[in-house]
Amino acid sequence: MIKGKFIDNLPKVYGIYTGGFLVFIILMAIAEQAGMSAKLIGIFFVAFTVLIYALIGWLSRTLQVDAYYVAGRQVPTVFNGMATAADWMSGASFVAMAGGIYFKGYGYMALLVGWTGGYVLVASLLAPYLRKFGCYTVPDFIGTRYGGNLARFSAVIVLTVASFTYVTAQINATGTIASVALDIPFGIAVYVGLASILMCSMLGGMRAVTWTQVAQYIVLIIAYLLPVFWISSKLGAGFFPHFMLADEVARIAELEGQFGFVKNSAADLATVPKGLAGITKAHSSVNATPWAFISLAVCMMAGTASLPHVMMRYFTTPSVRTARRSVGWSLFFIFLLYSSAPMLATLSKLSLIDPTLPTGIIGKTIAEVQSIDWYQNWNQANLMFISDFNGNGTLELNEFFMGGKAVVLATPEIAGLPYVISGLVAAGGMAAAMSTADGLVLAISNALSHDIYYKIINPKAETARRLIVARVLLVLIGFAGATIAALEIQGILGSVIWAFDFAMSGLFFPLVLGVWWKRANAPGAVAGMLLGLISGTAYLIWVRSGGSGFLGITQLTFGIVGAAVSLVSMIVVSLITAAPDAATQKMVDDVRVPSGKTVLAQK
Amino acid sequence: MSKQEQHWEKTRNLLFITLAIWFVFSIGIFLFGAEMQESSIRPFGYPLTYWFTCQGSLAIFVILIFWFAGRQEKIDDEFGFSEREGDK
């Protein structure tokens, strides 16, 4: 029902879907005018979009291995770009990124550069070659290129560590949003989020995840861009914020100079609720050393090129050529959101701190601010806090605190947009977190079912049995992730950055050298993966437990240590052991040429 | 040199050029972040370093990938290594 015809009709299908979603937003806006409560609007937005994704997941169900693992290798370039963008942009990108820029400025923007620059590495070093290889999973490439179950198994370990760290953060984010929007306790909301994630992926594997991710991208990009453009016009900052906020950026710098950054005493700060922060760094000045900026960017770039849930999206394109172009489209769709995050941060900050704007709160009396509706709402949600530290009765810049998520979640309300926009933003955040979680859970369960179960344990397993194993693992991993997410060990953004460092430590060089260095062999790759992962993890534990670290490498950039060890050990071990045999060398030659059958099809 | 070796040499050269451009806009310019911020070049009126982190580098990466893909396709065509219908 969906095959063939569906692929040809994609622009039409998703065009109707987008139109339908816009109509839904307008209907909600009318309902709001007619007196529908804010809470009900939030529930409608999240429930409606999640049901649509579940419907797509059900329609895309499949019993074929090719469709389950790589969506039948027929996803067109632009649509794969959208799916990858949704796969990529997590709850952290959607909810936390603008907040990070708002509070930390330049130092944080290394993540923007890193999370986009990594795609140049994906396009030039890896994606087209891995597509030519014709593998189902990333460990499938490692296992076949280097040969041997040990290499395959090591790749599965690295993949699982990195992806699992990442997925708990995403399930956590779906839980946070579901609990706010549906007004249920977090412990339950986590499992509601999990159920939605599994509905999208269990029946149709990669095929279902692909088509839901495209739908999720459309929701999340509308939900992000509409408020940014609207707030910008409303503030009179310009109808196209990306090119028109220079005056606002300059005005923030001027206000910062006027207010100054007063340091609060430790005793005062102790009264501020956990997780909230004040504005302590200049908005647009260069406030990090070159090394701090570059090391973080490098880790994010190498991590991007090593994270399996991104790489496996390029296994679904029809050809090598489309895989390459698809990387460009992915980055274009990511760019639309990432280039808007700093604009949102600027608009949010200016509307809060400029005393000449009606929304500005700095300089007002404490009592006045405490009586504002939105302040009360977000204070109750534990995302805003003010306190009169110096006792002068007016609010100073250093007496105002906010949670990172509030920049995206609260700015529409602060700027006086109707509540329907806040409902839309909640749906967008849910889409961002769900789409990433889907990709990650699928990456882990595919690696376990294909590489561990089928390739190592039971190579004679029938198709039906393989797909049942894949689905059972999917559910188990989802539950394990949700259980850990419910414990709330590490913040969303922290675990996301760790995932990149883990992936970079263990997989970056074994993947790249597998294509670009013929002499690389199995013992070298195993040493590279395991020693890289172990040394990176050891450094993380050392720094976390009070170690001083070296070369300015922090717990956010430990991938530099892991990847360096990985590179050196891989080269040394490869050179002191025997060169790969002629068949392997021929395989590498075949990978380097786009034409002809995939390498795995030749075997 | 065989056809395949020539193809790979050209591919490798393209990689080096691509990575060199990538290096400049992801790492190189940020060695001079503080100096560039003071520059009188202000795209759309934004301070220079700030603009690169918000838009400039990001947009250059998008363009770079499409440029790279086009060049690589040309190299593949030149040696007759492009995919044909039925290559699966």
**How large is the angle between the packed helices A38-59 and A10-33, nearest 10 degrees?**
160
Q: How many other C-beta atoms are found inside a 10 Å radius of the C-beta of residue A105?
A: 23
pLDDT over 70 (residue A603): no
Indicate the number of domains in chain A.
1
Nearest CB to B27: which of A125, A294, A321? A294
What share of chain B has pLDDT > 70, as a percent?
93
User: ∠ CA(A380), CA(A382), CA(A385), 5° rounding?
Assistant: 90
pLDDT over 60 (residue B87): no
Q: What was the ipTM of the complex prediction?
A: 0.94
pLDDT over 80 (residue A415): yes
Please indicate, yes or no, if residue A491 is contained in any of the structural domains: yes
Please indicate, yes or no, if residue A411 is contained in any of the structural domains: no
pLDDT over 80 (residue A598): no
**For residue B27, which residues of chain A lie inside 8 Å, CB to CB?**
294, 297-298
Domain that holds residue A510: 5-239+285-346+418-602
Between A137-151, A289-303, A392-406, A525-539, the lowest mean confidence (pLDDT) is in A392-406
Nearest CB to B87: which of A121, A297, A595? A595
CB–CB contact B37 A286 (8 Å): yes
Please indicate, yes or no, if residue A262 is contained in any of the structural domains: no
| Secondary structure (3-state) at A287 | coil
- pLDDT value of position A4: 55
CATH code: domain of residue A206: 1.20.1730.10
DSSP state for residue A168 in the 8-state scheme: H
The pTM (predicted TM-score) of the whole model is 0.92
Please indicate, yes or no, if residue A193 is contained in any of the structural domains: yes
DSSP state for residue A384 in the 8-state scheme: E
- pLDDT value of position A7: 79
Q: B81: pLDDT confidence band, cut at 50, 70 and 90?
A: confident
pLDDT over 50 (residue A319): yes
Please indicate, yes or no, if residue A140 is contained in any of the structural domains: yes
Distance, CA of A404 to CA of A410 (rounded, Å): 10
Residue A78 near chain B (CB below 8 Å): no
CA distances from A332 to A86, A182, B6 (A): 12, 33, 32
pLDDT for A326-369, tens place per residue? 999 999 999 999 999 999 989 888 888 888 888 888 888 888 88
Q: A325: pLDDT confidence band, cut at 50, 70 and 90?
A: very high
The pLDDT of A407-434, averaged and rounded, is 87
Distance, CA of A71 to CA of A266 (rounded, Å): 55
pLDDT over 70 (residue B86): no
Please indicate, yes or no, if residue A162 is contained in any of the structural domains: yes
The pLDDT of B62-74, averaged and rounded, is 93
Rounded to a whole number of angstroms, the distance from the CA of B77 to the nearest CA of chain A is: 10
pLDDT over 70 (residue A385): yes
Q: How many other C-beta atoms are found inside a 10 Å radius of the C-beta of residue A372?
A: 16
Closest-approach residue (CA) in chain B for A286 = B34
pLDDT over 70 (residue A3): no
Per-chain mean pLDDT for chain A: 86
Please answer whether residues A299 and A560 qualify as being in contact, where contact means their C-beta atoms are separated by less than 8 angstroms: yes
Q: Which two tokens stand for residue A366?
A: 């404490």
Report the length, in residues, of chain B: 88
CB–CB contact A595 B76 (8 Å): yes
Rounded to a whole number of angstroms, the distance from the CA of A115 to the nearest CA of chain B is: 9
pLDDT for A21-52, tens place per residue? 999 999 998 988 888 888 888 888 888 888 88
pLDDT for A183-204, tens place per residue? 788 778 888 888 888 887 888 8
Please indicate, yes or no, if residue A399 is contained in any of the structural domains: no
Contacts of A449 (CB under 8 A, 6+ apart): A466, A469, A470, A473
- pLDDT value of position B84: 67
Contacts of A200 (CB under 8 A, 6+ apart): A53, A54, A56, A57, A208, A209, A212, A434, A438
Closest-approach residue (CA) in chain B for A341 = B54
- pLDDT value of position A233: 86
Please answer whether residues A598 and A129 qualify as being in contact, where contact means their C-beta atoms are separated by less than 8 angstroms: no
Please indicate, yes or no, if residue A371 is contained in any of the structural domains: no
pLDDT for A473-519, tens place per residue? 888 888 888 888 777 666 666 778 888 999 999 999 999 999 999 88
Residue A81 near chain B (CB below 8 Å): no
pLDDT for A543-589, tens place per residue? 888 878 788 888 888 999 999 999 999 999 999 998 888 888 888 88
pLDDT higher at B77 or B65: B65
Residue A301 near chain B (CB below 8 Å): yes
Residue A290 near chain B (CB below 8 Å): yes
- pLDDT value of position A238: 81
- pLDDT value of position A1: 43
Q: How many other C-beta atoms are found inside a 10 Å radius of the C-beta of residue A548?
A: 6
End-to-end CA, chain A = 32
- pLDDT value of position A490: 61
pLDDT over 80 (residue B1): no
Q: A531: pLDDT confidence band, cut at 50, 70 and 90?
A: very high
Tell me the H-state helices in A307-387: 308-311, 320-338, 341-353, 366-370, 373-380
Nearest CB to B61: which of A119, A293, A601? A119
Q: Which two tokens stand for residue A375?
A: 């302040």
- pLDDT value of position B88: 45
pLDDT higher at A471 or A323: A323
CB–CB contact B58 A112 (8 Å): yes
